[in-house]
Amino acid sequence: KWRRHLREAEYGSLERDLELFKRISPIHHIERISAPLLIIHGANDPRVPVDEAEQIVSKLKSIGRHVEYVRFEDEGHGISKIRNRVTANNAIGEFFERTIAWPNMRTA
């Protein structure tokens, strides 16, 4: 509960700033995303509910955008477990290899 007060001091409150939040929410500007997107998310994230990440993924797919999604069932807001960091870093590297067309790029 105390974290909510800290976040509200920094970001605003739903009651007071709902219209602002709606205007700036990525879900309402999804059509502006044109580059390939990789989303990495912890299922136990207390700050950004996993449902919000999945809404973004679903909406991007529904409009034909390139999106990849990696979900860690045993992580929260950050990726802290070594095995998950390795998996995430590999996913990032592979994503870049698939989506960035650099001449003479070699895979290791």
Residue 62 corresponds to which tokens in the numbers above?
């529904």
- Tokens 């509910």 sit on residue: 49
Q: Are 76 and 46 in contact (CB under 8 A)?
A: yes
pLDDT per residue as tens, the chain (108 positions):
667 777 777 777 777 888 888 888 899 999 999 999 999 999 999 889 999 999 999 999 999 999 999 999 999 999 999 999 999 999 999 999 999 876 665 555
Helix (H, G, I), strand (E, B) or coil at 72: strand
Pinpoint the alpha helices (H) of 12-73.
Answer: 14-24, 50-62
pTM reported for the whole predicted model: 0.79
